[in-house]
Structure 1
Amino acid sequence: MYEGLQERAVDLLQTTASSDIIYNALRDEIISGRIQPGERIRQENIAGIFNVSRIPVREALKRLEAQGLVQNKRYKGCVVVPISPRDLEEIYEIRATLEPLVIEKSIENMTSETLEEARKLCDEFSSEIDSTRWGERNRSFHETLYRDADRPYHLKVIDEAIDRVDAYLRAQLLLTNGMERAEKEHVGILQACADRDGKLAAQRTRDHILGSYHALVDYFKHHQKN
């Protein structure tokens, strides 16, 4: 347990940003699925790994709780929050509403540098078989295409929504060969951006998100049966 945190641990006694570092490390472990839904996060263990008091650990956990990633339960402490079908539906409603809007706005200001960076990320998908690294590149690809929108609040909501489903999405992509489908859809989205066709990019982004949602719903149903 906490192997990923051990790799990233440093002595934070003299670090003023210790809470930020712990927050980012825990967030990465949760959204990657290495710390699983329902699993308890023990403050004393995290404090020991990073050689700090429990204060910055508590601060980090409060931030994660505000994002909906963890929850404090009586007699049990802090646990990673499982996702319900209703949560999943609401999260994807948010994504399917905001992300098409953001990419359409982004195309209005999209630079050649942004397109080139997105192309490189798109090319990397085809050779990546590790679901964790693939998931990281997937997020980077979409974030790159959205960043010229000048919509920081929209992007914050999108980022937090994806955090809630990322671990499940990576598992579904790996176990259902969903990466191949997603890669083809990424190419279509990128081409629409290169053609400066905001409406088409928005539609393809929405279709991509809804396709991901339906694949996740099917994955959950199959997972629950087994």
Structure 2
Amino acid sequence: MKLKAFDLGRQASSADVIYDALRDAIIRGEIEEGEPLRQDTIAQMFNVSRIPVREAMQRLEAQGLVVSERYKGVIVASLSHDQITEIFQFRALVEPTVIKLAVPLMTQASLDAAQRYCDAFAAETDPVRWGDLNRDFHTALYKDSDKKFFLSMIDKTNDLVERYVRLVLYLTKGMRSAVAEHQAILDACKARKPELAAELTRQHIDQAGKALVGFLRDHHR
């Protein structure tokens, strides 16, 4: 199991740190879907009792990143084609709304940050970094909306599909179109055109979802 472990024997926030480490490993694809998460093993890795590990597992299960199965214990969750389609349909409804609200309030600092992330995403050659930079880019454009509940739901839904998105970007050479779409969305934000930014965001998400599901179906996942 690939996982960054720390000695948390004397830490008060053990469950938080374990949760963050497991969550990051899952969404990065470092722990594969269907792989069991052994509480005893994880507790030993972090030098803690099973109690904070169990708490971290419960939080991961509430997010849909892991599931408890009879005879197997806790395993990394997998998503069906229908579930992935539904998640992208949800994103295509919520994220355009959020960016539409954010554009009139967007600061120059947010636009500058989004451009840096857009450029870094375009230049990055390590697929492991694509997911982080992609989310940093979109977060920079959404955060000025100040819609905290919407933003938290966007984060959670992206957690569920990020490992698949990174995979399909790598295997289908989809980076070029993603980069162009990012820049177009950002240019609409800079031009203070909320309707255009929203529509481009909707198209970006819709196309990404269809490409992902199409790829998975073609490869019989």
TM more than 0.5: yes
The equivalent residue for 1:35 is: 31
The equivalent residue for 1:117 is: 113
What is the correspondence of 1:51-66 to structure 2 with a 5 Å cutoff?
51-66=47-62
Partner SS for 1:60:
helix
The equivalent residue for 2:179 is: 183
CA deviations over 1:26-84 (Å, ceiling 9, x no partner): 00111111111111011111111110011000000000000011011111100011100
What TM-score results when the alignment is normalised by the length of structure 2? Answer: 0.98
The equivalent residue for 2:207 is: 211
1:132 is displaced (CA, Å) by: 1.2
- Any gaps of 5 or more consecutive residues in structure 2? none
Q: Does 1:142 align with 2:138?
A: yes
1:187 is displaced (CA, Å) by: 0.4
Asked whether the 8 Å contact 2:25–2:31 carries over to 1, the reply is: yes
The equivalent residue for 2:46 is: 50
The percent identity for this pair of structures is 48
Length, aligned pairs only: 221
1:126 is displaced (CA, Å) by: 2.2
Partner SS for 1:210:
helix
Measure, in 1, the Cα distance between the counterparts of 2:213 and 2:55.
34
1:115 is displaced (CA, Å) by: 0.3
1:10 is displaced (CA, Å) by: 1.8
CA deviations over 1:146-189 (Å, ceiling 9, x no partner): 00001111111111111111101100000001111100000000
The equivalent residue for 1:194 is: 190
Partner SS for 1:78:
strand
The equivalent residue for 1:132 is: 128
Partner SS for 1:126:
helix
| C-alpha RMSD over aligned residues | 0.9
What TM-score results when the alignment is normalised by the length of structure 1? Answer: 0.96
What is the correspondence of 1:86-97 to structure 2 with a 5 Å cutoff?
86-97=82-93
The equivalent residue for 2:75 is: 79
Measure, in 1, the Cα distance between the counterparts of 2:43 and 2:8.
10
